Amino acid sequence: MDGNTQSKDNPKFVFLYDTTLRDGTQRKGLSLSLEDKLKIASLLDKFGVAYIEGGWPGSNPKDMEFFKRLKASPTKNATVVAFGSTRKVGVKAEDDFNLRALLEAGTPAVALVGKSSALHVTAILKTSLEENLQMIADSVAFMKRHGKEVIFDAEHFFDGFREDPQYALLAVQTAARAGADWVVLCDTNGGSLPGWIAQVVSRVCQEVTEKVGVHIHNDGELAVANTLAAVEAGARHVQGTINGYGERCGNANLISIVPNLQLKMGYHCVPPHCLKMLTDLSRTVSEIANLNPDACAPYVGANAFAHKGGLHVAAVEKLSSSYEHISPATVGNTRQIVVSELSGRGNIRMLASSLGLTLSGNDQQVLERVKEMEGQGYQFENAEGTVELMMRRCAPDYKAPFEKIDMLVVVSDRGQSAMTAEAVVKLKVNGEVIHTASEGHGPVHALDQALRKALLPAYPHLSRVRLADYKVRILDPDQATDATTRVVIEAACDEERWSTVGCSQNIIDASCEALMDALELYLLRRREEDNAAQLQEVVA
C-alpha cells in the first residue's frame, strides 16, 4: 500500500474509534487505574487508531485527571474524545453540568449520547419526543460553538428504528443539521443481525448523511459481523474495544475488526506496518487489565495458528495456506505445531525445525515414543519441553548432563506449627556420584532444593532457573488414592519459559520426573549455545 491509500480522504478509509477506556471498563471484573488508562492510550496511539475515547469527565474525578494528564503529554496520532450525554430535560445547554464538564476536559472532540428510540424517550427519559429532539440540537450546537468535533451516539438506534423508523431518522437528522461531524448508530442491546444492520445503515447514508458510524454490542455474538456489514453498507466510522471488552457480553472487538477490514475487505484503518503490532497490543492490554488472554481468539490467540492433527500438519508443512487463512506473522502471531497422539511425522519435523533441531531421521522414533507415552497418561500439548527433550536425546552426540540414581522424600510432623519435608537425592554428575539432602516447605520444594544443591557446583548458571508454575491432574479419580497423577511444571529463566510433564501413580515420582526434565532441558540448551559460541570464536 502506498501513502495515498492510507489518507483519511480515501473513500476506503475507515476511522477506528476505541472506547476501551470508557465502555470497555463497564465489563464486570475490569477496573483500570489512571496509570493503566494512560498506558493503554499510549498503545492505541502507536497502533494508529483515529479516536481514543478516554472516559466520561462528568462522572468521576479519575477520568477528568486522565484528560489533564493527556494535555501534558498529548497523543501523536489519535484524536482524544471525552464522552458525555445530551443536556438534561428542562436545562439549558450552557447550564448543564455534564456539558460543562466536557468543555473542561479540553479535548478536541466530544461524544454525545442521545436517545433515538421513541420508546426510551417516553418511558425512560419521561419527556416528549419534541423535547428530546431539542436536547439533541441544543447539545450538538453548543459544542460546535465551542469549536469541538462532535460525535453523536444515537443510543438504541437499531431497536428504535424497528419500532418507529421515522422518529429514529429524525433524531439523527436533527444531530446532523445541528452540526454533528459523525452520526453513530448504536445497537445498544446487541441483538441485531447483519442483514438488518446493513439495511438500516444504508438507508441512513442515503437519507441523512454519509458521515455514519456504528457502535455494536455483542449480546448475539455478532458484533464483529454486524460492524463489517455496516462498513459494507456505507459506515466509515466504527467503534469498539480491544479484545471486545465491555458490558454484559462485550463490545465489537477491534482486534478482529481491523484485520478483517484491512486484509480481507480492502479497507484501510491503520498503517500496514501496525498490523504486526496486533497480537502484542491484544496481549499487553489483557495484562494491564489483569485478565487472561483468550488462547483461541481469532488472529491473536496463542492457538489461532496451532496445528494438531497429523493430516493438517503434513499439509501445512508443504503449503502453509492450506490450513492458515493468513500468515501468522502478518498480525504479529506465530505458528504452533502441537504434538500429541493425533500427530504424524510432520508434527515432529516441523516442531524440530521451529526449535532449530536436526532429527537425522529419528522423527518416527520420537513419534512412536509420544504415542506410547500419551497412552500411559502423558500429555504433551502444554509440555512441549518434554518433546524437545526426546528430540535432543535422539541426537548421536547426546550426553546426559546428570543421571538420577536414587531419590527419597519424607514429610514429617514434628509438633511444629507446620509440617516439614526433606528430600534426599543421589545423582551422577560428570561421572561423580553426589549425595545431597535439603528441606523445603513441601515435598516438591524440598526436591527442587536438593536437586539444585547437587547440580549447582557443576552448573552454577542453574541458579537463574525458577519454577514458574506447577499443575497437577488426577487422571482416573475413580481409583481414589491409587489414581494416576499427571504433573506439569513450567520453568523460567528471564523471559524464557518451558514446560515438562511427568506421570505416575506416585505424585512425588511424577513431580521428580517433570522437574528433572525441566532442569536437563535448560542445561542442554545452554550446552548447545556454548558450543555454537565456541565454534564462532574458532571461525573468527
Nearest Cα to 389, choosing from 518, 502, 529, 527?
518
Using one digit for the tens of pLDDT, what is the confidence trace for 374-423? 888 888 888 889 999 999 998 888 999 999 999 999 988 766 666 788 99
Grid cell, residue 345, equals: 511425522
Whether residue 524 has pLDDT greater than 80: yes
236, amino acid identity: R
Give exposure, 78-100, as e/b (b: 16+ Cβ within 10 Å): bbbbbbbbbbbeeeebeebebbe
- Portion of the chain with pLDDT greater than 70, in percent: 96
pLDDT for the residue numbered 422:
93
Distance CA 8, CA 17 (A): 14
Whether residue 515 has pLDDT greater than 60: yes
Q: Which 8-state DSSP code applies to residue 474?
A: E
Q: Indicate where the chain has its CATH 3.20.20.70 domain(s).
A: 15-270
Using one digit for the tens of pLDDT, what is the confidence trace for 71-130? 999 999 999 999 999 999 999 999 999 999 999 999 999 999 999 999 999 999 999 999
221, 227 Cβ separation under 8 angstroms = no
Q: CA end-to-end span of the chain, whole Å?
A: 42
| Mean confidence (pLDDT) of the chain | 92
CATH domain 403-539 topology: Double Stranded RNA Binding Domain (3.30.160)
Grid cell, residue 384, equals: 512441549
Half-sphere exposure of 227 (CA within 13 A, CB side): 31
Using one digit for the tens of pLDDT, what is the confidence trace for 181-212? 999 999 999 999 999 999 999 999 999 999 99
pLDDT for the residue numbered 531:
78
Q: Indicate where the chain has its CATH 3.30.160.270 domain(s).
A: 403-539
114, 89 Cβ separation under 8 angstroms = no
Q: Is 3.40.50.300 the CATH number for 15-270?
A: no
Task: Using DSSP, state whether 393 is helix, strand or coil.
Answer: helix
Whether residue 1 has pLDDT greater than 60: no
What is the arithmetic mean of pLDDT over 457-465? 94
Going from the C-alpha of 319 to that of each of 96, 182, 314, 315, 316, the distances in angstroms are: 62, 45, 9, 6, 5
What is the arithmetic mean of pLDDT over 255-277? 97
Using one digit for the tens of pLDDT, what is the confidence trace for 18-74? 999 999 999 999 999 999 999 999 999 999 999 999 999 988 899 999 999 999 999
Distance CA 269, CA 213 (A): 14
pLDDT-based confidence at 3, cuts 50/70/90? very low
Distance CA 476, CA 446 (A): 27
